[in-house]
Structure 1
């Protein structure tokens, strides 16, 4: 069975028999009016979407632009680290066998070539980070000695040890060792490694250009006056915010009324200029849901449409002729954000070449009812390291409380409710 959303006038029993006989327990079957609808299961929808993730290529960026990006090359140590025998404490450098008192014959500051420690009862004053003078094999901290009139006397309780407070050359890494691996996210410490090894530019995963298209006659601009039968646009801001938190910067927002020809025209323009298209609204089964047909006319291949989940069941996913990834999200705000967290962001993570993290499992702090035939997604507040406080919303249009939530948890279908303490999978807003 190649099609993932089927609306044929076949009998329900025939379809169920076929799916069971084929061993494909990946679908849910339901009636919608006089039609039979086969819905893809959540796990299979995820698998299909991720199989089309691909990547967006590689680009070379400056060190200043690399923060938060995904590395696409191995970085090797330019030289031994540390590159010299490094003094770890302010104090004096001496030969271990030397007996106090010692004559202080000079100062070895950081950033200067190494002095030579001559034979005899002599020492060199040293600073933290400086190179160890040649001939010295011990550093004594300043608090353990008394310096007066160029002479150093011992005032510590424990005798010094050979090699103490010396960070030996190459103790951390040897020249040629791999310091950063391809696929690693570049954090502040990672940028320090790049800088310390002379990397002014680095190869990283190219970030996609993303278009957000919002549809609906009921929508008005944020700054516009609003009639009682209208609502201000908000989904595009939610989607944009989640993408930016995910590291995506090149984002363009578009709006179209519920108009078939207008939808097709704007889709043609958007597809020509973007790697990923995220559409909000117009993907369900109403008389003004023009998006699926417009996408088909625009040459976008449907991969699946409709999933056995709530909220977010009408999700549409496809691929454009140039490899564009296209998501059609339901227009209800909670549904849109659920689908972003569950499908869109994971695809972008895989396409970026980053390392995919293991599933985050949290422990429910309260009971939550399941749905018999569909996966249920419930907003939660994350508490501590591993707890999820469930905060169900009455409808998929009620998004005013989501700003206080950290993400959603996934409850598999079933007849037994999820109880306190059950471990559930968590998806964050970013």
Structure 2
């Protein structure tokens, strides 16, 4: 194996590779979780008119308000055409309605007394000019950029797109990903039990990690430890996918053919081996058409750590998603120093004062999925650093 590179070097190498980005238009309801390819301009000013914000009456403010304001009409949300023509009159309005012409004051219903002649002010009412009016363009002018390219589309962004008439959204196309699991010792989830085999689970766990990040449903391809079958399958997958994530077969065991096989189908090795625990055997390369190929250890802990630390950020960055700094959490227990960078699984808990603490909960082995399921993610401990209780570290959630 080549000499180990650092975690920072591996991160830089993964993100430094050229990426081919394509766009696609999708209907607005299908855009949730996708990444905007272009900035979005306001369709018009928001709000597009002077908008009433309280149920009540609209009138013209005077230093001394009339004793009685006669009702000259009503304007409901969606309606228009009402106008105030006399100073001692008013127009009944509802919240959300267009402010009638000639009005500059809205008096809420709870500040009024209804009588046979119209409305009088309640004793404690003290209206002012402009009150309870949301002015045209107060939220944004008509020429404003309301969403930047590279933004992930969540609930607020959906509201902005809909409010600006964007029925079809130009998004960054999701990368096509294939997850390949190798190993003769693995059973399918639905297969009968075998005395010397275990069920494969790393690929499904990594699939969940991609889906949770809005990266779509990957192709799952289990394979045996046969170099010929492996080479033919990888060659085919490279023709139809942007990213390959392989689980297993990257150590120096006698039956670990993967690095050699990858190179035989045109994948150039960028690095093999990272000074980290778990995931030291991680391999990364680039295909003949700039496909990114991640070969990860086969055990679930290592695979999920490498997925969260390298694969998922690289895919999101390749789509133009802005890089967000990791959240920081404080350790609830000490972690001893190690010669390698450590990725330590943790369970989070919130203290009464609101601070988030991370309780180290490393699996009993790298295949211990039961303990792993009780954790929320992992913290990154720099090589050679002994961390005491309260030490702040970056957190990567599963």
Flag whether TM exceeds 0.5 (same fold).
yes
Unaligned runs of 5+ in 2: none
1:55–1:422 CA distance, 2 compared to 1 (3 A):
farther
Kept in 2, the 8 Å contact 1:85–1:132? The answer is yes
With normalisation by structure 1, the TM-score equals: 0.89
With normalisation by structure 2, the TM-score equals: 0.96
Kept in 1, the 8 Å contact 2:346–2:378? The answer is yes
- Aligned-residue CA RMSD (Å): 1.3
Kept in 2, the 8 Å contact 1:260–1:290? The answer is yes
Question: 2:341 corresponds to which residue?
Answer: 375
The reply to whether residue 71 of structure 1 matches residue 41 of structure 2 is no
Structure 1 residue 379: deviation in Å?
Answer: 0.3
Q: Deviations over 1:55-76 (max 9, x none)?
A: 5322222211111111121111
Question: 1:401 corresponds to which residue?
Answer: 371
Unaligned runs of 5+ in 1: 7-37
Question: 2:320 corresponds to which residue?
Answer: 353
The reply to whether residue 201 of structure 1 matches residue 171 of structure 2 is no
- Looking at structure 1, the residues matched to 25 and 144 of structure 2 have their Cα atoms a distance apart, in angstroms, of 22
Question: 1:17 corresponds to which residue?
Answer: none
Question: Tell me, what secondary structure is at the counterpart of 2:370?
Answer: coil
Structure 1 residue 150: deviation in Å?
Answer: 4.8
Superposition misfits of 4+ residues, deviation over 6 angstroms: none
- Looking at structure 2, the residues matched to 150 and 352 of structure 1 have their Cα atoms a distance apart, in angstroms, of 65
Question: 1:146 corresponds to which residue?
Answer: 113
Question: 2:94 corresponds to which residue?
Answer: 127
The reply to whether residue 420 of structure 1 matches residue 389 of structure 2 is yes
Question: 2:50 corresponds to which residue?
Answer: 85
- Looking at structure 2, the residues matched to 158 and 106 of structure 1 have their Cα atoms a distance apart, in angstroms, of 22
Question: 1:42 corresponds to which residue?
Answer: 7
Question: 1:261 corresponds to which residue?
Answer: 228
Question: 1:94 corresponds to which residue?
Answer: 59
- Looking at structure 2, the residues matched to 257 and 135 of structure 1 have their Cα atoms a distance apart, in angstroms, of 79
Question: Tell me, what secondary structure is at the counterpart of 1:40?
Answer: coil
The reply to whether residue 338 of structure 1 matches residue 305 of structure 2 is yes
Question: 2:77 corresponds to which residue?
Answer: 110
The reply to whether residue 328 of structure 1 matches residue 295 of structure 2 is yes
Kept in 1, the 8 Å contact 2:276–2:341? The answer is yes
Pick aligned residue for 2:245 from 250, 273, 278 = 278
Question: 1:136 corresponds to which residue?
Answer: 103
Q: What is the total number of aligned residue pairs between the two structures?
A: 392
